[in-house]
A and B are shown apart, each in its own frame.
Chain A
Amino acid sequence: MEDGNFLTDDFLRQLIDVGEADILVGLPTHNNAKSAGAIVRTIRDGILRSFPRERAVIINADGGSRDGTRELITELSISDAHPASSLHALRTLHAISTQYANTPHSGVALRTILSAAELLRAKACIMISPDSENISPEWISSLIRPVYYDSFDLVSPTYRRHKFDGLLTTNLLYPMVRALYGVRIREAYMPEFGFSGRLGSHFLGQNQWSNGADENGTELRLTLAAVTGKFRICQTFLGTKDPVERRGADLVPALRQSVGVLFSALEPDFDVWSTMSGSQDVPTTGDDVELLLDPLRINRKRLREMFVSGVAELESVFQSILAPSTLAELKGIAGLGEEKFRYSAELWVKTVYEFAAAYRKSVINRDHIIQALAPLFRGRVFTFVVENRNGSAKDVANNIEGLCLEFERLKPYLLEMWKSKE
């Protein structure tokens, strides 16, 4: 905004009309007309079923939709001006919308919703992904209850996923956050989550919005802010999470939004994570993580080929990032045939930690560092898929647990590299 205000006058007017809220549901969108209606109806059902007496609001932060997404959402308000005969609601439920930009930025969307939550003094807030087409009304209750009734500040989701879905989470984010920050949060980069007004205001108050951090990956920053701020965190099981269709080209943006954010947080958070050892479970409601085992076609050959070509093409880049022994090992496995190829947990953890240290030292452009991780991650995925191809859910869980322990065991290696700068 030209006048220095972040929220538009129109949005502010809508917030004045909403007034104080007990529960706020945030929904970032961009051209989600196909799914938004069903998602908002489900959110509405969840609120009416579980929180019929509470003052609730659904806030849509839109990144410039041209398909009528916003109108579709606001039409689902429950109001005496537009009586919906099939619904029996005790009170008004506003569904309001603001367009924060002409292009989508998840960080700006989250900031918009956090700002609204603070102005409305919302007690419990949740964010819902516009991709969550399989959302059920129970999700709303599961994400809000721990905050609203049990005074938790962050509710991180767990899902029933396919064993090969969310591999960036299982092979990097979860084990690394767990090893460094000492908390076993399965989904640190959360598509859906609940948070308290207290945490929202704390995060909003951190002066990180004007330095480029408002681009993407803000959800992960929020998790880390909750951990470092010693906020009360729990996990809640939401059920099946449909995998989002991703193309190979999506990997680098995904790495930027997750690994890039994590790496960039390590420096300001050093005093916290450097003194942590081991890790603790966080309270979890509902079932534990579940893995689905149905057959899934994965092009392993392509994964390995991309690893091999990446190692060859980016050797000069890797020389400035990786320790010589690590690079040598990678070159070694790149020369192995498919049958013998194995990117071990130890080598993968060393790779990631060396990338983190290089990122901190900015040995080359930081974005190039993140991009360079992509082919190596594909190699690690190849091994993970091969190792768990026939594994039971328990086997896969054990495999992930082994990787986590490896991240914890090698944490001193990262610390050593980190301190070597001084």
Chain B
Amino acid sequence: MNSNSLNSNWLNSSKDALWYKDAIIYQVHVRTFQDSDGDGIGDFLGLEQRLDYLQELGVSAIWLMPFFPSPLRDDGYDIADYRSVHPSYGTMEDFRKVLDSAHQRGIRVIIEMVLNHTSDQHPWFQEARSSQNNPRRDWYVWSDSDTRYKETRIIFLDTEKSNWAWDPTSKSFYWHRFFSHQPDLNYDNPEVREQMWDVMKYWLEMGVDGFRLDAVPYLVEREGTNCENLPETHAILKDLRRRLDEHFPGRMLLAEANQWPADLRPYFGDADEFHMAFHFPLMPRMFMGLKLEDRKPITEILQQTPEIPASCQWSLFLRNHDELTLEMVTDMERDYMYDMYAQNKTMRLNLGIRRRLAPLLNNDRRRIELMNSLLMSLPGTPIIYYGDEIGMGDNISLGDRNGVRTPMQWSGGWNAGFSTAEPERLYAPIIHDPVYGYPAVNVVAQRESEHSLFHWMRRLIAVRKSSAVFGRGSIEFLYPANHRILAYWRRLGNETVLIVNNLSSAAQAVELDLGRYKGNVLIEMFGNNLFPRVRDLPYLLTLGPYQAYWFRLRRV
């Protein structure tokens, strides 16, 4: 069976256009996952070898971080060619193999697309800077002075002093919202918009199931604004969505827009812009609520989260390839988060904390489980960052965000089973500290241990996938007087699930008002055990430290 027929079979069987609402997404960088050719760098064929593992874990989609040709000055987010793959990761044929193999296993493939900017090594920029009269000059944003758009914030505060950089070649300034080696494309130019749709179409025709569109709030600049979330930007995104629906129905767009909920809402439009968007403000508040042992930060941000169209979905995550961003918190909250989670200042980067999940939670299995329980039960599609399912650690001695991008730890053998290369040839050193090092934390060991985090995560994912209520249902909070208990209903049609989480390090008693469901019994979803019938009195539950219950309600 050739690739094209595999793809078309897959597409034909993908009748549910809302697949992303039920998905369990696994975020992985090709470079970090598995090296198949012994050069010390992960590649597509290595990834393909590990798809069985992802299938075993239960993920239903993978999100591949940028794998395009790039000078790799920003881990691939500085793209130099949108229509190819970085030679270190293999060939286009290798990519197609991954795509087909994933689809054969029922795993969708979402790829990264950086619309906002290119690498300064991209031929478009090389042409644009070559002369003021070059036809591609206007594909980027140029200025004779660095004083335009002064109300625009600088995102990478630790490295950049301005959003303008001087180009000595063409003797003018160019606009960049991120690193100065990442010039912003000029979306006021119709050729740019058309070109970027062509790029997306190229990958869609190959069979990718969706895009994670990077840095979307910044596409258009206007004087007198902060150059974020502008109506013109939304118009461009809506146009991309229209073309997608017209030519590639069932494919998905996921927005990376690190904004407050009210500012995020427009990215869903009237179900005519993005299918999904990351809920950035929720993530730090989950960590905050856990440390405070108080549900208030979590319920408050979700109270402030506007309704979204029925076909849209929030995308939830605990950790990712970037720092734990603290942009969408108040100064007081940010100080608290730094003091609680990053007392060592080297753990801080920009406005965030560059750490993985397990180290952030002091490798406390109970807290790791609770946070994953929240991730899987709050409304949205969960994204698991590679390695977090086995509790991988980080290496803060590596610069920038590289400390959370170390090789996947497959085994206790040579290079953690990641590569056969000499260790010094690896793209990054493997974690080898006594707590998180590969001899202690690896897939092989956890597969063999029935009570490992890996098996717990498998079970969690399986329970989540057992009901559509988690991906598609509504949420309603209960507000028990015990503020350490975060409890909510998830409902879809006739199905009702009650989630009760203890955010505290101590055992808790809580009385829940379940009167509406009088006569129902509670069935604990992990063990399928019966709990007492709901009566007139408040329902008394006791929970151990950091314990979570998922109950299905049934009349029997």
Contact = CB atoms under 8 A, between A and B. Distances in A.
Given A19-B484, A90-B332, A80 B299 contact: yes
B508 A19 contact: yes
A83 B300 contact: yes
B506 A88 contact: no
Contact of B482 (A16, A52, A55, A89): A16
Interface residues of A, number: 19
A80 B333 contact: no
Contacts of A89: 296
B332 A80 contact: no
Interface string A71-95: 0000000011101000011111010
Contacts of A115: none
Nearest to B508: A19
Q: Name the residue among A13, A19, A20, A55 with the largest chain B CB count within 10 angstroms.
A: A19
Contacts of A16: 482, 509
Given A16-B509, A19-B506, A19-B508, A92 B483 contact: yes
B506 A81 contact: no
B332 A88 contact: yes
A91 B330 contact: no
B508 to A, nearest CB: 7
Given A19-B482, A19-B504, A20-B506, A92 B296 contact: yes
B336 A80 contact: no
B292 interface: yes
A20 B545 CA distance: 14
Contact of B294 (A13, A52, A88, A92): A92
B300 A90 contact: no
B556 interface: no
A79 B479 contact: yes
Contacts of B509: 16
Interface string A258-275: 000000000000000000
A52 B300 CA distance: 17
A80 B479 contact: yes
Interface in A1-39: 13-14, 16-17, 19-20
Contact of B333 (A14, A17, A90, A94): A90
B310 interface: no
Interface string A85-110: 00011111010000000000000000
Interface in B296-338: 296-297, 299-300, 303, 330, 332-333, 336
A376 to B, nearest CB: 53
A14 B481 contact: yes
B295 interface: yes
A94 B483 contact: yes
Interface in B128-172: none
B539 to A, nearest CB: 14
A389 interface: no
Contacts of A55: 293
Contacts of B336: 53, 90
B22 to A, nearest CB: 29
A90 B479 CA distance: 17
Interface of A is mostly: loop
Nearest to A19: B484
A182 to B, nearest CB: 42
Contacts of A52: 332
A80 B299 CA distance: 7
B300 A17 contact: no
Contacts of B506: 19-20
A17 B484 CA distance: 8
A91 B299 contact: no
A276 B449 CA distance: 68
A16 to B, nearest CB: 6
Nearest to B482: A17
Contacts of A17: 480-483
A177 B330 CA distance: 49
A17 B480 CA distance: 8
Interface string B474-508: 00010111111000000000000000000010101
A91 B294 contact: yes
B551 to A, nearest CB: 21
A115 to B, nearest CB: 19
A53 B294 CA distance: 11
Given A16-B509, A19-B504, A52-B332, A80 B482 contact: no
A90 B299 contact: no
Contacts of B300: 80, 83
Contacts of A53: 292, 336
Contacts of B508: 19
Nearest to B294: A91
Nearest to B504: A19
Contacts of A94: 483
Contact of A90 (B297, B481, B483): B297
Q: Name the residue among B297, B336, B482 with the largest chain A CB count within 10 angstroms.
A: B482
A90 B332 CA distance: 8
Contacts of A90: 288, 292, 294, 296-297, 332-333, 336
Nearest to A89: B296
B505 to A, nearest CB: 10
Given A16-B509, A19-B508, A88-B332, A80 B481 contact: no
A351 B296 CA distance: 60
A80 B303 contact: yes
Contacts of B297: 90-91
A116 to B, nearest CB: 15
Contacts of B477: 80
B540 to A, nearest CB: 11
B296 A91 contact: yes
B482 A79 contact: no
Contacts of B332: 52, 88, 90
A19 B543 CA distance: 14
A89 to B, nearest CB: 8
Interface string A211-228: 000000000000000000
A80 B296 contact: yes
30 contacts: A13-B481, A13-B511, A14-B481, A17-B480, A17-B482, A19-B293, A19-B484, A19-B504, A19-B508, A52-B332, A53-B292, A53-B336, A55-B293, A79-B296, A79-B479, A79-B483, A80-B299, A80-B300, A83-B300, A83-B303, A88-B332, A89-B296, A90-B292, A90-B294, A90-B297, A90-B332, A91-B296, A91-B483, A92-B296, A92-B483
A-B interface, 9 closest residue pairs, ranked by CB to CB distance from nearest: A81-B479, A17-B481, A92-B483, A80-B299, A91-B294, A17-B482, A80-B296, A91-B292, A92-B296
Given A17-B483, A19-B508, 14 more contacts: A13-B511, A16-B482, A16-B509, A19-B293, A52-B332, A83-B300, A88-B330, A89-B296, A90-B288, A90-B297, A90-B333, A91-B292, A91-B296, A91-B297
Interface of A: 13-14, 16-17, 19-20, 52-53, 55, 79-81, 83, 88-92, 94
Interface of B: 288, 292-297, 299-300, 303, 330, 332-333, 336, 477, 479-484, 504, 506, 508-509, 511
